[in-house]
Amino acid sequence: MKQQLTFLLIIITILAKAQSNRFYDDSYQTIDNMLNDKEPYSFKTAVFSVENAYYQGKLDTEELNRKVRFLANFCNQLVDNRKLNYTERDGAKVSKYAAVYTVMCQTTPVIARNDTVKYKPFTYDFEDVFGHKELSNLFVSKLLNTQKGNCNSMPYLYKILAEEIGADANLALAPNHVYIKHNIKSIGWFNTELTSGIFPIDAWLSASGFIHLDAIKNGVFMKALNNKESLALLLVDLATAYNRSFPNNDGSFALKCAERAIQIHPYLANALLLQAETHTKQFQKLMREQNTKDIQVTTLNNPKAKELFDTMNKEYSHIHKIGYRSMPEEMYLDWLVSLKTERSKYEDVRFKK
């Protein structure tokens, strides 16, 4: 009887783990199908699939979609009921950009039941900016439920809303940061920064001191990501969530996500780092198994360990060569705050004309 009970517990554990992994596998498949054009592209669907995997199928996507529809309808009402002082041929597109920006960043009077109330925009949440305490603090679902977000969830939601109303929106990367790039006929490319609600010039990004010229040249930072490259970024998010859910995993899922993302965007630093860090963890595990902290002993006694060690060194060397530089978290927060404290220095003057 005791043996039967033990066997039953083992089976339950295996099934529970399989059930947990299924949500991540489903999300990966959804994103991969979009990348292979086997499923209609939807950034919103891909984002919610990642968050649903982390919540193990318990994310209320129906309620979240209702909130997205409400915000998208609000954007459409703004497009229909106001006229911009913009005369170029792409005015309809620019009007949509302006509407999403208004909903995301500006307090707006709204008539409801014969009364005028003020719609309050989303605000930046400085609590757990990097999701160290709780990964869901980076999620769009958290932003929709609390009206507070960060440089991950806010540009994601901006892109979702833009696509909901038939506009495009390009994500762009800086150290520890995501923002929006648009291209319009009157001025060309410009940046939209959701954390502060302004349009900073590129000099603000390079002022951080952590954007190497090679990183710009190779598209590591400041590149306008296309839709498939944005999906590649979500694969890294998916792997990060998986590692948080299953901290003692063997690294195979993370590597699958990283390798697929790199196929789409060879210079996607987040994916390259995920790959190198996963190989590092695998190497460290081999060191623990050999009960040694001596790298030379590990590599001499284990061919697999030597291969891993050589691989991860090549990967880190490549990451540095293409221009990636890490930015300390405290410096990042100071850099972010500089947008408000030195607004006149970094704001794009073309929007004041």
- Phi and psi based region of residue 339 (left: phi greater than 0; alpha: psi -120 to 50; beta: remaining): alpha
Q: How is residue 167 written in tokens?
A: 């506009």
What integer pLDDT is reported at residue 12 of this predicted model? 45
The pair of three-digit structure tokens given for residue 124, joined into one six-digit string: 């930046």
Q: CA–CA separation, 179 vs 159, rounded Å?
A: 10
Alpha carbon distance 155, 145 (integer Å): 16
Tokens found for residue 243: 């590692």
The answer to whether residues 258 and 236 touch, using CB atoms and an 8 Å cutoff, is: yes
* Residue 262 contacts residue 301 (beta carbons within 8 Å): no
What is the separation of C-alpha 107 from the centre of its chain, rounded to a whole number of angstroms?
26
At 317, the amino acid letter reads: S
Strands (E), 104-226: 108-112, 115-119, 123-124, 148-149, 170-174, 177-184, 188-192
- Say if residue 5 is exposed, middle or buried (CB neighbours under 10 Å; 0-12, 13-18, 19+): exposed
Strand positions, DSSP E, 7-114: 108-112
pTM, two decimal places: 0.91
For residue 205, what pLDDT is reported?
81
What is the mean pLDDT of each successive set of 10 residues along the chain, which is 353 residues long?
51 46 96 98 98 97 96 94 92 96 87 63 91 97 96 97 97 95 95 90 81 94 97 98 96 97 98 97 88 77 88 96 92 83 80 64
**Residue length, the chain?**
353
Tokens coding 308: 């891993």
| Per-residue b or e along 53-67, where b marks 16 or more CB atoms closer than 10 Å to that residue's CB | bbbeeebebeebeeb
